[in-house]
Chain A
């Protein structure tokens, strides 16, 4: 037993002595050298980032990077930059970032105070809140009806956290990704799936019978989406924010919004006046 203990202690010591991850050179210098901006994004979160029918990796968040952030980064490093996409999910995105596997998370990540302790966030580029997706006619009409009900959520998401803390009577079931959670809802393993309203709208639109499902409840959480970077990555943050700011000012952002969320977009989700004001307030308008 003693020997085993010694091994464990040795391992723990070795681990704590490992040099801190992410202490290398500045990200912008790296981009300047390689000409590549690596982003972590999603493959199954339409319309933010997903693989479409033609097998292309596209989405609103990806467009924002390609059309707003990329030019700003290019201007900063003084050369053409290629955007490389890698898959990242809520549980993997912060580790990917701190391990330097990606430079920027551009998907559906909510900007929270806790996360701000470990990563930096760009300006908010989308604003939504948590709701429930249920079968039409379900007794669940909002967050006050979930006591004793089986509620699916996505592992490591802010919604799961809120349900666990504020609504402990609900039976929370956490799945690693949206498709699994949605499958559980389709088959009745759970009574409702909670996620950010916009993502539920995306899932509903892609469901075999969209009319069978409805999104219920007021936003019980605020979910401002931001792009995340390693903490202290000031030059990259300045470029990303600059790009987004430019987009808000020039109206390019709203064009991209129209493309994905407009009446003819992938997922109609009109920009409300409140949300628009919220976004513009960030740049002092």
Chain B
């Protein structure tokens, strides 16, 4: 009954190619979803702090609605729920052009946008009130205050928590396999199916995720150091 390790299954045959494909797809869906999440997060995070109630209400609704439903449900929603609302021709076109990829990307991006929004909001709220007042006193409009002063400062303050959530986003991209996106976890499982070597295949997946995440974390540590505002953020090691 001993389990026989056979690591060579990872590079023999098609396994290596599959894992590489999975890795590329994971990166593609994560990068696109991250951009979407960042845009949604910055816009809605800023909207939640503006002195105009309707905007705050809209942004609050977005955040609470999207972050309080499990990501898995959002995957099904974007893949199974949204297409029937579109005209038949558009549906067919989508289904032939990786609908599952775009559904997964939207699910991931919109969900993480809501989480990113809270991080941005926290960053904005940590900026002393006097900054707003000084900017307004200079004659800037509210939009200019946000665009030129508040958001840039907030972004420099929130690098650590934003890194954290970006890593979550990358790992959460694996949920997309439920709607048939053949990303990294899917491919690791595929290797397992073909070779019946579960531990090797899943270890390969684990190590790839780990290397990716450690790589991103290392880059973000540099970004954090480079952009930290002296006096506003505690210096880390």
Is B51 in the interface zone, CB < 8 Å from A? no
Tell me, yes or no, whether A138 is within 8 Å of chain B by CB.
Answer: no
Determine which of B1, B96, B99 lies in contact with A22 in the assembled complex, contact meaning CB atoms within 8 Å.
B1
CA distance A114 to B6 in the complex (A): 14
A187 B1 Cβ-Cβ under 8 A:
no
Q: Which of A62-116 contact B (CB under 8 A)?
A: 90-91, 94-95, 98, 114-115
Residues of A close to B83: CB separation below 8 A? 187, 189
Given contacts A95-B198, A161-B193, contact A176 B2 (CB under 8 A): no
Pick out which of these stretches binds chain A: B28-36, B208-216, B227-235: B208-216
Docked complex Cα distance between A139 and B116 (Å): 47
Interface CB pairs A-B, < 8 A, 18:
A1-B218, A16-B5, A21-B199, A24-B1, A90-B193, A94-B196, A94-B198, A95-B192, A117-B196, A119-B196, A155-B177, A156-B189, A173-B180, A175-B178, A184-B80, A189-B99, A232-B1, A233-B1
- The residue on B at minimum CB distance from A150 is B95
A118 contacts the other chain (Cβ, under 8 Å)?
yes
Which residues of B does A touch, CB under 8 Å?
A: 1-5, 7, 79-80, 83-84, 91-92, 95-96, 99-100, 177-180, 182, 186, 189-190, 192-199, 202-203, 207, 210-211, 214-215, 218
Q: Report if A23-B194 is in contact (Cβ < 8 Å); known contacts: A8-B207, A173-B180, A176-B178.
A: no
> In the assembled complex, which residues on chain A have CB atoms less than 8 Å from the CB atom of B177?
155, 176
Q: Please indicate which of the listed interface residues B96, B192, B198 has the most CB atoms of chain A within 10 Å of its own CB.
A: B198
Q: Is the interface of B mostly helix, strand, loop or mixed?
A: helix
| Bound CA–CA A231/B79 (angstroms) | 40
Please report the C-alpha to C-alpha distance between residue A156 and residue B7 in the assembled complex, in whole angstroms: 20
A162 within 8 A of B: no
Residues on A lying within 8 angstroms of B by beta carbon are 1, 4, 7-8, 11-12, 15-16, 20-24, 90-91, 94-95, 98, 114-115, 117-119, 150, 152, 155-156, 161, 171, 173-176, 180, 183-184, 187-190, 230-233
**Residues A4 and B214 in contact in the complex (CB < 8 Å), given A11-B207, A183-B80:** yes
Contact status A115-B207, CB under 8 Å: no
Complex Cα–Cα for A82 and B151 (A): 63
A residues less than 8 Å from B179 (CB atoms): 175, 180
Task: Determine how close the nearest CB of chain B comes to the CB of A160; give it in whole angstroms.
Answer: 8
Quick check: A114 and B3 within 8 Å, CB to CB? no
Q: Which residues of A contact B202 (CB under 8 A)?
A: 95
Distance A119 CA – B83 CA, assembled complex (angstroms)? 41
> How far, in angstroms, from A21 to B5 measured CA to CA in the complex?
10
Shortest Cβ gap from A222 to chain B (Å): 18
A231 touches B1 (CB 8 A): yes
Q: Are B218 and A98 in contact (CB under 8 A)?
A: no
Are B214 and A20 in contact, CB atoms less than 8 angstroms apart?
A: no
Residue contact B80 to A174, C-beta cutoff 8 Å: no
Q: Which residues of B contact A95 (CB under 8 A)?
A: 192, 198, 202
Contact status A155-B194, CB under 8 Å: no
Q: Tell whether A115 pairs with B194 under 8 Å between CB atoms, given A23-B3, A174-B186.
A: no
Q: Which of chain A's residues have a CB closer than 8 A to the CB of B178?
A: 175-176, 180
Are A174 and B180 also in contact (CB < 8 A) when A11-B207, A156-B190, A189-B99 are? yes
> Could you tell me the distance between the alpha carbons of A11 and B213 in the complex, rounded to whole angstroms?
15
When the two chains form the complex, which single residue of B7, B192, B199 contacts A91, counting CB atoms closer than 8 Å? B192
Is the CB–CB distance between A21 and B3 below 8 Å? yes
In the complex the two chains form, what is the Cα distance from A206 to B43 in whole Å? 46
Q: Across the interface, which residues of B come within 8 angstroms of A152, CB to CB?
A: 180
Query: Which one, A4, A11, A156, contacts B215 given CB within 8 A?
Result: A4
* Bound-state Cα–Cα, A7 to B178, Å: 31
